[in-house]
Amino acid sequence: MILGMKPERTDRTPIFLSAFVYPGAGQFLQGRWKAGLFFSLCFTTCLVLFFVNVAGPILRSLDAALSWAGGGISEEFVPVSIARLMITFAAALTLYILSIADAARAARRRQHELSTQRREDAEPRQGD
């Protein structure tokens, strides 16, 4: 560290955006559109698959329960596939964690580049 220069802190805004707003939002803020689009689309796909795997069987079972309660023809209750739920949940959780880690890595890399440039600018040049 050069005297008179404060150590810079990493800008954590992209990390917080990826963690608390939506995966990929931090990458968009950093100007990394391809990474942001990748994380956003993959996470959205996992969420949709997760809710389809949950909502579909629940709605069919609800329809069967209402049909039974109304005295109509009893339909089969549809079980929720735990394996499908766990796979899509694990994939979504993995993408969520990777998005946060990627935003943090890019923020640290950017901070390192800035601090290196400031150090080079602050050092006296030889031959001046």
Q: What is the mean pLDDT of residues 36-42?
A: 96
Q: What is the mean pLDDT of residues 31-60?
A: 91
DSSP state for residue 20 in the 8-state scheme: I
pLDDT bin (cut points 50, 70, 90) of residue 125 is: low
The more confident residue out of 79 and 116 is 116
Question: Is pLDDT of 19 > 70?
Answer: yes
Burial 77-90 (b: 16+ CB within 10 A, else e): eeeeeeeeeeebbe
| Model confidence pLDDT, tens digit, residues 52-102 | 888 888 888 888 778 777 776 666 777 778 898 899 999 999 999 999 999
Mean pLDDT, rounded, of the chain: 84
